[in-house]
Every structure is written in C-alpha cells, then in structure tokens.
Amino acid sequence: MPVPVPWRRSFGNRRVVMAFLCCVAMLVLLPLTRTPPWRMVEAQAFDILSTLRMPALPDDAPIIVAIDESSLAEIGLQWPWPRELHARLIESLRAAGARAIGMDIIFADPTRPQADAALAAVMGPEIVLAADETFVETPQSSQLIRVEPLAALTDAGAVPGIASISLDGDGTLRRMPAYPDSFARRLRGIASGEAGEAASGLVQVYGPARTYQTVSYYQALDPPEFLPPDTFRDRIVIVGLSLQNAPTIAAGGADAYATSHTWSTGRLVAGAEIQATLYDNLRPGVLIQPAPEPIRLLGVVVAIALAAFAVWRGSGRKTLVIGLGALALLVTGSFLLLHGARFYMPPVAPALAFILVASAQSAWDYAAESRQRREIVRAFSQYLSPILVDRLASDPTQLKLGGERRTLSVLFADVRGFTTLAERMKDDPERLTNIVNRLLDPLSRIVLEEGGTIDKYIGDCIMAFWNAPLDEPDHAAKAVAAGLRMEGVLVALNEELAAEAQPGDDVIRLGIGVGINTGDCIVGNMGSRLRFDYSALGDAVNLAARLESKTRDYGVPVIVGPETAGLVAGRFALTELDRIAVKGRSEATPIYAVGALSPDGAAG
C-alpha cells in the first residue's frame, strides 16, 4: 500500500516559498503605496485614529464671531454688509478687551469712500485681515494670484494673513498650510509675541463643527446686552461666515470645509473655525508629523517579518489568533505614536503586508493539506474503515512513516482446502474467482468494521492488524471479535453456495482458519524505492501466520497466542490447546482456541 508523505515537507522548500511570498508582497506594496488612491486611504486612516481621542480645547482658544442666519435676520442688511458695520464690530470687541481680532473676510476692493475710511480708522496692529493666494494653471500658463486687503487698511496698521488652506484630494483639510504669513500664524504672533512653529504637519482637530465657542455677529456688536461679562476679555476673536450651523457635504456651504472629523458626522466646518483650529495647532506639541518614506518602508518590512513568524511552522487557528493580535498591535502602535509622540505612522500598508504574506502562506498550506488529505484518503480507503480514514486525514501526525515499533494484534485468515478447490475448478476460473471474491469481500468488511488495517491479500489469505496506523487501545479484543465474525460469514456463504448448486453438482463447502497473535512489530513503509507498502514485520507476525496453519491440525476455526489470550481473558471463552515450540523462545508457547461467551459468562 503506497503511503503519501506530503506532511513531511522540506523545511527548506517552505522557507523558499515564504521568501518568495515576502518578496512579492514588497514588490506589490512599494509601487501601490505611492499612488494617490493609496495616499487617500492612509489619510482616511489618519482621520479615524486622530479623532478616536481628541485633546480638549485650550482654555484660551479663539472665540468665533459668526456671520450667521440669526445675524442676517437681526441686522436686516444684504450681504456684503457695509464696512462701517465691521468698524463698529471691531470697536466693540476692542472695548470688550479682545487681545487680537482676525477678520476672515477679504476687503480687497474699494467700496464707498466713507465706508472704507471708517474701517481704516479702527485698524491697528492687533487686527489681522484675510488675504488669499491661488495657483491657477492653464494649458498656456501657470499663475500665482495673491489678493491682499486694501492698502489703506494695512497702511493704517492692520496685518494681512493668507487665509487660504490646503485640501487633500478628497477635499478634506488635514495639513497645515505652508504659508509663512498665514492668517493663523499672524494671529499667533500678535497674541503671544511669536508666530509658532513654521514646520508643516498634519492638523489635529478638536471636534466637529461648533466645537469652538461661537457667538453671533449681532451679539458681538453689543456684548453687554447679549453676552456674559468678560466674554472677550484677553481672548483671540475670529470673525467669519458661518451661514449654517453644520452644513453637510452633499449640501455644501459658503466658506465651509471637510476636516478629519467629517468622516464620523458628515458635517462641514466653517472657515472661521478652521482658522481657529490652525491657530491652536501652532501651539507646541500639537501639530502631528507624518512618518517619512524610509520609516514607512521599515514598517512594511516589520509587518512582513511578523507575518513570516506567524506562519513559520504552519498555519491554522493559532495563526489566525496571532494574525489578529499582530493587526491589533499595528493599529494600536500607530494610535499610540500619533497621540503620544505626535507622529503618524500609517498602519494600512503594514497591515496589508501582514495579511498578504500570512494569507498567501496559509492558502498554500491549505492547498497542501487538502492535497495531503486526498492522498491519504486514496491510499488508505481500501485498507481502513471510513471512520479511521477520516481521523487519519484530519490529523496526519498520527501516521509516523519510515518504520516504528508498535504493539500490534495481527490476524491471518486463510481458506482451508483452497488448493483442492482450485484443482477441481481449473476449467472454470471465472467461477473460482467469483467464489474467492465473495469470501474476501465480507471478510475485509469485517476487518474494517472492527477498526483494523488490511495489510495485504495473499491469494485466498487475508492479513490484517490493529493498533496501526492509529492507536487502538482495545486492539486485541477487536481482532478476536473480527476472527469470530469471519466464521459466521463463512457459514452464511456455504448456505448460499449450496442453494446455488445445480442437481448433480458437487456442493462446495468452504472452511476457514484464523490465527491471531499480539506482540511488538515494526510497522511502516516496506519495499523498495520503486514500490512500497504500509506493512508490519516481526516475530509476532510470523507466529500469527503459524497459528492460522495450526487450525487445521486442531480442527478449530480460531487460535490465538498467549499475549492475545492475556488481553482478552474474561471477554471470550479461551481453551488451551497445546504448547508449541517457537523460534527464539526457550520454553514452549501456549496456544488457545477462542469462542464467544454467553451473557452469563459461559462458553458459547
């Protein structure tokens, strides 16, 4: 019986396959991680991680004065409002103790001279006016267009600041604008005497729309009437449009943008609140630095190494647990770096690298295991019962190859007088073959039903053994039960043959002898490099064959050796027949006839 050996894979071959999979993962991921869609995936991962835990607003965070629907209704003027009104607001805020005022409104074009003069009259060094910078690219040219406030306003002491922001490809604000004279930096410089860090980085949001304290424009025009005392005392104030409390992405909104928090709410944030967020990100230790390319590459390499470790010796349920743990570690590590060190290491590429290597190796292992299972089933299905084949296929480690010492119960069953029968039927070989098959088929079925392994057929003889390749603690009793059942099958077959006999034909009556012995054997692959069988060898096998031949001499159907008799005593009726000389033993060996016990314990 040829036995498959796929479970003894070369570890060297496995290392080659794993190295190949690791290289493929690198070759796939390196160009992929440089594509714009991939960068968007990493950016969206940043949105999630940076908003799972957000810092609290600083106590001195800017206050937003919102040009909102309530103000439009209360003031009753069409937008844009006259500049005298803005001048009035600045005077009111200055009187209320505001430290610095940022007007997120572009006053680029002149209006009525009186209005422009009124606004210029209230300008001062604590006022920041919005400017704009736009890069326009056409097939013919590229232009950088900068829109500044009226010269009269800046000449009067106001400071211009670029209020333009940098949006990612999906229209979301994540990065600090690189302008050295940005609106937020100008405000920061006025408020604290220093402009804050000039380095670029990723913006940490503090929450959804209206996270910052917000008052309506009409309320700020008369704080004593509408607001608590000292609302603006020593605070930074940013004035800007906020026409909807929280405009949606679908509906849009004037001067409203998506931020990292928009993924969870779907709401846009007003431009004035965006400027407040940028202002607070200029504080030390708030801005987040993205990992440089070499660090990202190192993260992918580490993830691939983790995946290789997870499937180094094999894959299965344990691999799944390790894999889930590794993925959780990658995500948790990215989260802790972001919030603890203000450093963003995207976990997406390392996670995908881990999944690629681990799943590819697991798929390869699964295919190999499936192929192994099919080969085991094919090799053993004719020699073992279906239940044992399933057990062996599910756990091939129970089959040890190359030969091992095991205690087996070996059975030989031979048809008595077969030579004489063959001589009588030499002119009818088809019928002879049919009779032999009709006998060996039920005998084989009995062996399999009793959990035995069919070793081989030797003409009209069948050899089987128990306790290999799978452990069978009750091997001796099962072998004896199989031998006794074989005698009953023979009785039924003789009745069938007698019924089939034609008048004048000799009635064929078959006899059987069964020898069973238990002892240590060598079991495993036996044969040559060209062909080998799974078989058993040893003195215990030789004695079982000799016991079968003794059944003719003593006229009993089943004879067992002393080791078998000792193991089944009390479960079967045993009668000592004789003591015979056995090669390698100085004393004679007892042999026993065996029969069934009746329910009351008497011999049957």
**Residue 144 to residue 6: CA distance in whole angstroms:** 68
pLDDT tens digits along 153-185: 999 999 999 999 989 989 999 999 989 899 999
**pLDDT-derived band of residue 8, with 50, 70 and 90 as boundaries?**
very low
pLDDT over 80 (residue 366):
no
Q: Which of 103, 72, 77, 82 is nearest to 216 (CA)?
A: 72
459 or 196, greater pLDDT: 459
Q: Distances in Å between the alpha carbon of 244 and those of 175, 250, 279, 479?
A: 24, 13, 22, 88
- 447: how many CB neighbours lie within 10 A of its CB? 29
C-beta separation of 178 from 236 below 8 A: no
Q: Indicate the pLDDT class of residue 3, thresholds 50, 70 and 90.
A: very low
pLDDT grade, residue 2 (50/70/90)?
very low
User: Tell me: the pLDDT tens digits for 400-415?
Assistant: 555 789 999 999 999 8
Q: Which residues contact 55 (CB under 8 A, 6 or more apart)?
A: 204, 206, 286
135 versus 57: which is more confidently predicted?
57
**Three-state SS sequence of 127-163:** EEEEEEEEEEECCCCEEEEEECCCHHHHHCCCEEEEC
- As a whole number, mean pLDDT of residues 114-120 equals 96
Residue type (1 letter), 112 = R
Please report the pLDDT score of residue 386 as a whole number: 63
Q: Rounded to 5 degrees, what angle do the CA atoms 77, 81, 86 make?
A: 125
- Higher-pLDDT residue of 424, 332: 332
Q: Give per-residue pLDDT as tens, 53-65.
A: 999 999 999 999 9
**pLDDT 10s digits, 28-61:** 888 888 889 999 999 999 999 999 999 999 999 9
Look-up of token digits 């071959």: 13
Res. 145: pLDDT tops 90? no
Neighbours of 341 (CB within 10 A): 12
Q: Is the dihedral of CA 98, 103, 108, 111 positive or negative?
A: negative
Q: Which of 123-127, 282-286, 473-477, 491-495 has the lowest mean pLDDT?
A: 491-495
State pLDDT tens for residues 272-327. 999 999 999 999 889 999 999 999 999 998 988 888 888 877 676 777 788 888 88
Separation between Cα atoms, residue 141 and residue 497, nearest integer Å = 105
Which whole number is the average pLDDT over 436-454? 90
Question: CA-to-CA distance for 272 and 242, rounded, in angstroms?
Answer: 8
The 10 Å Cβ neighbour count of residue 499 is 8
Q: Confidence band (pLDDT; 50, 70, 90) for 206?
A: very high
Could you tell me the end-to-end alpha-carbon distance of the chain, in angstroms, rounded to an integer? Answer: 37
Q: Please list, in sequence order, all residues whose beta carbon lies within 8 angstroms of the beta carbon of residue 493, skipping any fewer than 6 positions away.
A: 438, 439, 442, 510
**Of 454 and 599, which is predicted with more confidence?**
454
Token pair, residue 109, equals: 């074009």
pLDDT at 395: 63
Mean pLDDT of 394-398: 61
Query: What's the mean per-residue pLDDT of the chain?
Result: 85
Whole-number pLDDT of residue 387? 59
pLDDT of residue 269: 93
Taking residues 108-133, what's their average pLDDT? 95
What confidence tens digit (pLDDT) does each residue in 379-393 have? 665 555 565 566 666
pLDDT for residue 604: 44
If you average pLDDT over each of 85-94, 238-247, 550-559, 580-589, which comes out highest?
85-94
- The one-character DSSP state at 172 is B
pLDDT of residue 393: 63
3-state secondary structure 224-282: HHHCCCCCCCCCEEEEEECCCCCCECCCCCCCEEECCCHHHHCECEEHHHHHHHHHHHC
State phi, psi for 302 to the nearest 5 degrees.
Answer: -65, -40
More confident residue, 19 or 467: 467
SS3 463: strand
Q: Count how many residues are written for the chain.
A: 604
Instruction: Identify the three-state secondary structure at position 183.
Output: helix
Split at pLDDT 50, 70, 90, the class of 244 is low
**How confident is the model over 546-569, as a mean pLDDT?**
93
Distances (CA, A) of 250 to 150, 223, 247, 257, 268: 35, 35, 8, 12, 10
pLDDT of residue 134: 83
Question: With a threshold of 0.75, does the pTM exceed it?
Answer: no
* CA-CA-CA-CA torsion sign (332, 211, 163, 141): positive
Residue 396 per-residue DSSP state: G
Render pLDDT for 323-365 as a digit per residue (tens, 0 to 9): 888 889 999 999 999 999 999 999 999 999 988 888 888 777 7
Closest CA to 271 of 153, 147, 177: 177
